[in-house]
Amino acid sequence: MPRLPLEGIRILDSTYVFALPYAGGHLADLGAEVIKIEGPGRPDVTRTGGYAGSFPENQAGEEWWNKPSTYNLLNRGKKSLVLDMGDERGRDLFRELVAVSDVVMENFTPRVMRRWNLDYPNLRKIKPDIILVSNTGYGHGDGPYSGYPAQATTQEATHGHCWVTGYLDDGPAKAGASFVDFLSTWSAIFALGAALRYRNRTGKGQWIDIAMYQAGVMFLSEYLMDAEINGREGGRMGNRHPYRAPQGCYPALGKDQWITLSVGSDEEWQSLCRLMGRDELASDARFGDILARRENHDELDEIIAEWTATTDKFELMHLIQGAGIPSGPVLTGRDIHFDPHYRHRGFLERVDFPAERGVGSRFLMGRPYKYSNTPMSIKGPGPKFGQNNEEMLKELLALDDATYQGLLDETIITTTPTSGDPSPQMEPARAVELGLLAEYDPDYLQRLGLV
Amino acid sequence: MLTGALEGVKVLDLSEDIAGSFCARLLADYGAEVLKVEPPGGAALRRMGPFFHDDPHPDKSLFYLVLNLNKKGATLNLETVTGQGILKRLAPQVDVIVETWRPGYLDSLGLGYEDLAELNPSLTMTSITPFGQEGPYSQYRGEEIVNYAMGMIMSISGVQGREPLKHGGFQAQYEGGLFAAATTSMALFGSEFTGQGEHIDVSITECIASTMMATQTMYPFMGGTQVRRRASGSMFGHPMPCQDGCIIVQTGGGASWEDLAEFFQCPEMLEERFADRAQRAVNGEELDRIVIDSIKERSKWELFPKAAEYRMLFGLVQTPSELVGCPQLESRNFFREIEHPVMGRVKVPAELFKLSETPYRLERSAPTLGQDNREIYVDGLEYDDRQFTQLRQLNVI
């Protein structure tokens, strides 16, 4: 087996929800030993199935906290240690772990690690070359919002994303999932690779201070420049493009099925007219050049929608791409499990849970990249709550049995969360009725070959 | 003494577009020495606005500027045999090549990863494409809207009964660039121990898909397909209009439903018909009306700090100029100023994150077209003045 880049790197991952937990999962794929640390009364909220996570067969059941879909995707391949960081004994054990680790990741609001004397200056005293990765909503420091609570779904508005997203005839909109979380995920991986290389060459650690807000704003750089230099506020474009026309998302055959396409040149426009069987449009002055097509975009949208509505979305993609025009169907969470390209690339990996977990086998997303010389895969599902307590404390820190038992008795460590409830499950049919779910396939396990 | 975390890493940036340029810029921001290599006519990005004072001059694209900070720049025509030979002389001197051509194009010029790795086994080539290097769609053309569509995110963006909605701006391209920088940095760390490079295959569509945690996993876990929000009665949790803009509120965080009712000064929110998620869905139109009514006379700037007192998950829709003047970003030193040879002194969005020991540095502006040709070709590859002139005449540089 080729050597994975992070072999031999131990990471204490005291992070919650999406952004850094997902970074930790990817770092496990890359070969690191990642130890997820949670408090006895503070299981990761993704363990509750919150934020649209799913339980197997929609049933929370026994040990529900080890089962949710998003929890297992985000925390794949990690170990789990449950430790009460609110208690000085818990923090002492954490310090002992820091002394034998390479990296600490945390996403508490800025004051928490300081209050615990676990901020970067203090961690350095324990392990001089430690690398600390912090992710917060607005960043450390003395800025006016630094202490504000934050989460990606609402930050999408604050960092400017909603201003540029939305239908042309409607207000600012959120786009899909908790977008900015993942900018922190990948910023953390990028920064950590650089920091590890630096440590390898100089023997020095580093504090990586990531702010989701700042990352989100960075992704609007051209709008910021336009505002700064030209005094322009940008704004919503719907599904259109500043330079290409027509571009849009059009109905395809079937219920709620859609195809996108984007025409960038006059030649592409002429090809599209031929495909639509509307050669006369190619010489129609209303659409003759890019400026005219932008001007008469609404009319074009109607013409294209009429053509696409009677054909399957995949068939349309092959046709339109065959003519050299960018196009693709709107794929749903179901579609990608059956799409030949996703399948060919092995983007979805089958993860077999240990039998005692009662989860069976499921598909989880791997990585959006491949290394030619170093194949990777998901090492396993997310760990059970406290799965590696004994390994971490008795083996790694060499606690004796009596001390370990004492910690259990006082719930400094545990394998059962002392608080938290599974988020309520709604009958899928009812969810479809209320418009909270698009569709439900009762035979999904058969379709996926998982039974 | 290293002052940048990636100091000593040498990068050739062959990309013309947003994703590759952003990837290479991030490597440069944290210490790598990056040379932007463009065709003699300039990278496509030089023709993309916004432009400085709306003047569409190749050295005045503000988009090109922000994505190519901290880089040197040279021109090179890869479609000439001479140009290909020059790239083969440069390849052994670098650690990373970033490229975004259609899969197979560089191979057809004899400049693919296999060809160049023979000259330099520790070379990492980072290829960023819409669908990846192989697979049935690998030769298909991508665009922002296509990446969003095929990355699943459009299936849950927008409202039911209308067409799915794309993100504004060029988020997919930026994501591809950031993700590529991350995998490149990990490969560079790995090669510290193996001495071996990698061909990194980044798919922009998969970058988008990989963010769809709930959407993807819902199907194999319970057979459901996620959906766009309902067209009416679903404003709560989405941008809602107030007196001077829009705000957004999410349940959860440190605030209870009771806290939210108090914050909005809406005792009706505590009625039984809004008690849980299912009831709030059924009675969504009423909920929207009550909440939106309660904020129509209130300012987003008044509500923002107040929401923080309640430990609420709260946002306000900011405009680009509000972001340019944001005191939080100022406190983080996010914007920096740089002297550009054509545009003069400009303020640019600069620092993605903070590194304590090797801080971000803005050392050079984006290159003007062919700015460093002499340094690269005459000082570096030791072409004499006569040959340098010939390379220009032959449209190689």
Residue A431 lies in a domain: yes
pLDDT tens column, A404-414: 999 999 999 99
**Final residue in a domain of this structure, among B289, B316, B343:** B316
Query: What are φ and ψ of residue B348, in 5° steps?
Result: -130, 145
> How many domains in chain A?
2
| A287 and A365 co-located in one domain | no
* CB of A399 closer than 8 Å to CB of A371: no
Q: Which tens digit of pLDDT belongs to each residue from B147-167?
A: 999 999 999 999 999 999 999
Q: Which of B230, B317, B323 is facing A172, going by the closest CB pair?
A: B317
Q: For residue B68, what pLDDT is reported?
A: 98
The reply to whether B355 falls in a domain is yes
CATH assignment of the domain containing B284? 3.30.1540.10
Range of the domain at A254: 247-335
Last residue of a domain, one of B316, B347, B363: B316
Q: Are residues B194 and B245 in the same domain?
A: no
- Kindly give the pairing relationship between strand A439-440 and strand B224-225: antiparallel
Region A92-107 average pLDDT: 98
The domain boundary residue, chosen from B286, B316, B346: B316
Locate the chain A residue with the closest alpha carbon to B145: A260
Same domain, A318 and A379: no
Residues A87 and A52 in one domain: yes
- Residue A450: the pLDDT is 95
Q: Is residue A117 located within the same domain as residue A145?
A: yes
Neighbouring C-beta atoms of residue B375, cutoff 10 Å: 12
pLDDT higher than 90, residue B276: no
Computed from CA positions of residues B20, B22, B27, B28, in that sequence, does the dihedral angle turn out positive or negative?
positive
Output the CA–CA distances (angstroms, integers) from residue A388 to A208, A383, A406, in the order listed.
27, 8, 17
Same domain, A193 and A108: yes
- Together in a domain, A311 and A414: no
- Specify if B367 maps to a domain: yes
Chosen for mutation from B3, B23, B69, B210 (greatest number of chain A CBs closer than 10 Å) is B210
Tell me the backbone φ, ψ of residue A49, rounded to 5 degrees: 80, 10
Indicate whether B252 pLDDT > 80: no
A-chain residues near B313 (CB < 8 A): 149-151, 153-154
**For the domain that residue A62 is a member of, what is the CATH number?**
3.40.50.10540
Which of A307, A335, A363 marks a domain boundary? Answer: A335
- A244: nearest CA partner in chain B: B143
Distance from CA of B390 to the nearest CA of A (A): 34
Distance between CA A436 and CA B285 in Å, rounded? 15
The alpha carbon of residue A88 is apart from the nearest alpha carbon of chain B, in Å, by: 24
Q: Tell me: do A382 and A331 sit in the same domain.
A: no
**A with B: how many residue pairs have Cβ under 8 Å apart?**
579
Q: Are residues B204 and B250 in the same domain?
A: no
Output the domain CATH number for residue A267: 3.30.1540.10
Distance from CA of B118 to the nearest CA of A (A): 14
For residues A168 and A162, give the distance between their C-alpha atoms in angstroms, rounded to a whole number: 13
3-state secondary structure at position B390: helix
Q: Which of B163, B203, B242, B316 to mutate to test the interface with A (most CBs of A within 10 A)?
A: B163
Looking at residue B232, its pLDDT comes to: 78
Residues A269 and A209 in one domain: no
B130, B225, B238 member nearest A334 (Cβ):
B225
Chain A residues lying within 8 Å of B172, measured CB to CB: none
In terms of Cβ atoms closer than 10 Å to its own Cβ (0-12, 13-18, 19+), residue A310 is exposed
Interface mutation vs chain A, best among B53, B188, B211, most A CBs within 10 Å: B211
For residue B203, the model assigns a pLDDT of 98
B37 and B126 fall within a common domain: yes
Looking at the predicted structure, is the pLDDT value of residue A245 above 90?
yes
Q: Which domain holds residue B161?
A: 10-210+330-393
ipTM: 0.97
**Is B351 an 8 Å CB contact of chain A?**
yes
For chain A, how far is it from start to end, CA to CA, in angstroms?
31
Q: Are residues B195 and B343 in the same domain?
A: yes
| A425 lies in some domain | yes
Q: Is residue A231 part of a domain?
A: no
Partners of B358 on chain A (C-beta within 8 Å) are: 194, 198, 206
A109: confidence class by pLDDT, cuts 50, 70, 90: confident
DSSP states along A417-435: -SS--PPPP--HHHHHHTT
Question: CA of A30: which chain B residue's CA is closest?
Answer: B186
Nearest to B27 by CA among B72, B87, B88: B72
Residue ending a domain, choose from A335, A368, A400: A335
Residue B32 sits in the same domain as residue B104: yes
Q: Determine the Cα–Cα distance for residues A327 and B99; give it in Å rounded to an integer.
A: 22
For residue B167, what pLDDT is reported? 94
Which of residues A310, A335, A360 is at a domain's end? A335
Q: Which of A55, A164, A264 sits opposite B222 (nearest CB)?
A: A55
- Residue A78 falls within a domain, yes or no? yes
What is the pLDDT at residue B124?
98
Average pLDDT over residues A54-72: 96
Question: B266 and B147, same structural domain?
Answer: no
B192 touches chain A (CB under 8 A): yes
In a domain, B325, yes or no: no
B382 touches chain A (CB under 8 A): no
User: How close B82 gets to chain A, by Cα (Å)?
Assistant: 29
Residue A227 lies in a domain: no
Tell me the whole-structure pTM to 2 decimals.
0.97
Out of B54, B145, B226, the one facing A262 most closely (by C-beta) is B145
Distance CA A72, CA A78 (A): 10
Distance between CA atoms of residues A341 and A326, nearest Å: 16
B60 shares a domain with B199 = yes
A404 vs chain B: nearest CA distance in angstroms?
33
**pLDDT cut 90: percent of chain B above it:** 91
What does the mean pLDDT of chain A come to?
96
Which one of A70, A187, A201 has the shortest CB-CB distance to B352? A187
Q: Looking at the structure, do residues B21 and B103 belong to the same domain, yes or no?
A: yes
B354 shares its domain with B295: no
Q: Indicate whether B281 and B338 sit together in one domain.
A: no
The two tokens of residue B128 are: 């960023």
Say yes or no: A199 and A256 in one domain.
Answer: no
Best A228, A272, A298 member to test B by mutation, with max B CBs in 10 Å, is A228
Region B313-336 average pLDDT: 97
pLDDT at position B397 is 83
Tens-place pLDDT, residues B207-216: 999 999 999 9
pLDDT at residue A1 tops 80: no
Residues A55, A123 within the same domain: yes
Is residue A3 in some structural domain? no
Residue A85's CB is within 10 A of a number of other CB atoms, namely 22
User: How many other β-carbons are positioned within 10 Å of the β-carbon of residue A270?
Assistant: 16
Is the CB of B190 less than 8 angstroms away from the CB of A3?
Answer: yes
> Is A236 a member of any domain?
no
* Residue B181 shares a structural domain with residue B116: yes
Domain count, chain B: 2
A334/B202 touch (CB, cutoff 8 Å), yes or no:
no
**Residues of A in Cβ contact (< 8 Å) with B237:** 153
Per the CB < 8 A criterion, the answer to whether B69 and B350 are in contact is: yes
**CB contact (8 A) between residue A221 and residue B349:** yes
Contact between A209 and B356 using a beta-carbon 8 Å cutoff: yes
**Is B298 domain-assigned?**
yes
We report the CATH number of the domain holding residue B158 as 3.40.50.10540
Q: Are residues B68 and B99 in the same domain?
A: yes
Mean pLDDT across chain B, nearest whole number? Answer: 95
Residue A98 lies in a domain: yes
Contact B174 A54 (CB under 8 A): no
Whether A121 and A47 share a structural domain: yes
Which residues in chain A touch residue B331, judged by CB atoms under 8 angstroms apart?
A: 141-144, 146
Mutate to test the interface with A, among B165, B191, B228, B276 (most CBs of A within 10 A): B165
CB within 8 Å: A438 and B227:
yes
pLDDT of residue B393: 86
| Rounded mean pLDDT, B195-211 | 97
Nearest beta carbon to residue A365 from set B143, B210, B253: B210
Is residue B230 pLDDT above 90, yes or no? no
Whole-number Cα distances in Å, B20 to A200, B26, B385:
27, 10, 32
Residues A196 and A319 in one domain: no
